[in-house]
Amino acid sequence: METLVGLNCSTVECTSPNAPIWQDILAQAVTGELMAAMNYASLSEICDNPAEVADALEHAQIERGHAARFAAEGRKIGVDVPNNVDAKHWKRLREAFLGCITERDFIGCLIVQEIMLESFAVASYARVGKVAPGSLGTTFASIAAEEEEHVDHAMAILRAERALDPQRFDDKVYRLHLDVMTTLAKMLAKECKDGHCEVCHASCVKPALFDVRLSAAELRGASLQQYLKTLDMLGIPGELTLAWVAQLPV
Amino acid sequence: MDVDFALIGHQESWRAAADLLAVLRGPERTRLPDDEIRDILPWIPPRAVCHVEIGSIFDTQIGDTTIGNTKTGGAKARGLYIDSFIPPDRLEAAYVHENIARVRAAAACAIKAGAKIVSLGGFSSILIEGNFDQLPERHATVFTTGNTLTVGFIVRGIKKMCTLEGRNLRSSTLLIVGATGDVGSGCARCLAPLVKRVLLCARNLDRLRKLAAELEAHGVQVEVATDREQFSAEADLVICAASLASPSLLLGRIAADAIVCDAGYPKNLSPSAQMPGAKIFFGGLGQITGGLSFAPDFHGILNRHPFPDVVHGCLLEGMALALDGRFEPFSQGRGFITPERVAEIEAIAARHGIYLAPLYNADGPVQDAIVCETEWSLAENPHPSEAWVGHP
């Protein structure tokens, strides 16, 4: 795995029997945050308005900060936290975002990053924050809250966009849902049916999540619930989004 | 789209939930495995599942507008079915706060959709009937538990079973289990003057005594008990207005050939080897004769009955009121159902072709469909009886 940004991790002996589990959870979180930073950096390149450019770059910096905080939590429990934005699922998510960049589709970018990926992050971090010990739990909970806050900013833009042409907007969300949420659903499946995710340091962490009072089913459920609630806030009819989610792979 | 009514319900079995999700996934995708459904369903926020359209057998005048139905020439009303996604295995008291929150969220969906009237189906009305203040701010939306029409159909069902079985209502002893609830007390007020003796059973003795005093003031012979074993007489008519943990709780405490109306939710009484002579039927169900359609098509999924277009009375109440253009909270609170109110809602329902459904139980129909009160013929119905997929 490649370290994309210097997190200055030092290898320390593990101090907790669950440290390898937290290491994998942190690795997924750091990878997600780094990918979000890359996405915001890419977004800044298609923004016309200087304020939007500054906003996107600021978000990129915030996401890098989140990655660094997660890595620091790893060091506290004595593990190096790797990352791999080229892991197969994460790479596909990045490609979906870059597709919107290529089309200079600012709204599409917000839908992918803020509605789909952030729903996943906010819900997962919040669940982890409830069970993780000490500062690890506090960090997950506080980053979940920060992510939720900046979703609010994007929601205002997206609601205004939907008001212009609801049908066209909903069609766009559905098109992106098919690509992005199908990939996320595979990542969130109770078992990784497509082989190793290329982020976990050894075998898949999912079966071991019970040891830290988590489960893959719970993380998936919470993520899909957050996604549905976010789509509700955009005003997309509930019966439509229910069918979208029901059709996802398990 | 105008939303005349909204129906709030939930799936009463995992099988029903699986069927609902299978329709949403579409025929080209495999059904979700049972374990996945059990994992996913509790996380789904309450939301609309489908659009519902109903027809009346008559035109309705709302203001200056006459609303007609292309199929029957009568009025039409459009609505939404909103599922609270209460997991079928979480109906017990331990989940009451979680479930009230789900019903509140479902109510918020109905309000957001601009529904003029909302019917609270089955367990939703049980949760809310004494807690209407817990519903969200309602704006122009009104809510009804639908319990008055449910009582109407239970009472009609009892009368019809007596006729079918050649029983004399006047010489019967009626036992009501769950007598102090809204439905149970409504049934007591309607049937007590028509039978020889009434046995009222519920958990709260104070409420039982209050109801008994009300009935006795009208010259009715009443006994109350919190335990069915304490009654001095055997009942030959039974209304279970509360779900029993086990049908065997009735064993030895009712006549061997008693007529038993399962009016609880979910319905869990079935003809059994232990009570071979009992005549059990599911009460509180009505049938729409002016047309009922779902988009997407959930026929046989959302209404899992052996006869077409059969719906719980609690949901039909809101539909009937919508067809009549009467957007009012007809049934609210607990203990206000009277014979006069029952007659009023039955008249409204009948005006639009909504009648008592043919009687059935877990084994299927208990009467020939042709003799049903509505003279409804299966042959004339566009929806085949194969929609029957068994009661959970």
Q: What are phi and psi of B118, to 5 degrees?
A: -125, 125
Structure ipTM: 0.88
Kindly list the residues from chain A whose CB atom is less than 8 angstroms away from the CB atom of residue B21.
246
Indicate the average pLDDT of chain A.
Answer: 90
Contact of A85 with A91, CB cutoff 8 Å: yes
Name the more confident of A173 and B128: A173
pLDDT digits (tens, 9 = 90+) for A214-231: 999 999 999 999 999 999
Confidence of residue A9 (pLDDT cuts 50, 70, 90): very low
Q: Give whole-number Cα distances, A55 to A41, A69, A151, B290, in Å.
A: 10, 21, 13, 58
Q: Which residues of B touch A243 (CB under 8 A)?
A: 24, 296
Find out whether B169 and B144 touch, Cβ atoms under 8 Å.
Answer: no
Superfamily grouping for domain B152-282: NAD(P)-binding Rossmann-like Domain (3.40.50.720)
Comparing A152 with B20, the larger pLDDT belongs to B20
d(CA B116, CA B344): 20
- Note the pLDDT of residue B378: 35
- At residue A11, does pLDDT exceed 50? no
DSSP string for A98-167: HHHHHTT-HHHHHIIIIIIIHHHHHHHHHHHHHHS-HHHHHHHHHHHHHHHHHHHHHHHHHHHHHHH-HH
> Are A221 and B36 an interchain contact pair (Cβ–Cβ within 8 Å)?
no
Test mutation, B10, B41, B47, chain A, max A CBs within 10 A: B47
CB contact under 8 A, B47 and A232: yes
Closest chain B residue by Cα to residue A221: B43
pLDDT at B254: 86
CA B34/CA B37 separation, integer angstroms: 5
Domain that holds residue A240: 19-246
pLDDT reported for residue B29: 93
Chain A positions in Cβ-Cβ contact with residue B50 (cut-off 8 Å) = 239
**Residue A23 vs residues A19, A78, B339: alpha-carbon distances, Å:** 6, 9, 68
Is the bond into B266 cis (omega within 30 degrees of 0)?
yes
Nearest CA distance, A146 vs chain B (angstrom): 23
Report CA torsion sign: B31, B37, B40, B46.
positive
Among A45, A228, A226, smallest CA distance to A123 is for A226
CATH of the domain at A140: 1.20.1260.10
Do residue A246 and residue B51 have CB atoms under 8 angstroms apart?
A: no
The verdict on a CB contact (< 8 Å) between B29 and A247 is: yes
Q: Is A168 part of a structural domain of the chain?
A: yes
pLDDT of residue A98: 97
Average confidence (pLDDT) over A198-211 = 84
**Position A13 pLDDT exceeds 80:** no
Report chain A residues whose CB lies below 8 A from the CB of B52.
Answer: none
Of the two residues A185 and A194, the one the predictor is more confident about is A185
Within-domain flag for A5: no
Annotated domain spans of chain B: 5-148+285-363+373-387, 152-282
**Which residues have CB under 8 Å from A207's CB, separation 6+?**
none
Of the candidates B330, B76, B336, the one whose C-alpha atom is nearest the C-alpha of residue B181 is: B336
Q: Does B34 touch chain A (CB under 8 A)?
A: no
- Structure-token pair, residue B252: 């030895």
Q: How many domains does chain A have?
A: 1
Using CA coordinates, name the residue in chain A closest to B83: A239
Find out whether B322 and B190 touch, Cβ atoms under 8 Å: no
Judged by a CB distance cut-off of 8 A, whether residue B31 touches chain A is: no
With a cut of 80, say whether residue A107 has pLDDT above it.
yes
- Integer-rounded Cα Rg, in Å, for chain A is 18
B45 has a chain A CB within 8 A of its CB: yes
Please give the average pLDDT of every successive group of 10 residues along chain B, which has 392 residues: 92 93 94 94 97 88 56 81 94 89 93 94 77 75 95 97 95 95 96 96 94 95 89 89 68 84 79 76 95 93 89 96 95 93 97 96 74 40 32 26
Q: Are A218 and A188 in contact (CB under 8 A)?
A: no
C-alpha distances in Å from residue A220, one per residue of A66, A115, A234, B43: 22, 15, 21, 9
pLDDT at A7: 41
Q: What is the pLDDT of residue B62?
A: 57
Name the minimum distance, in Å, from the CA of A52 to any CA of chain B: 32
Compare A196 and A104 and report the one with higher pLDDT. A104
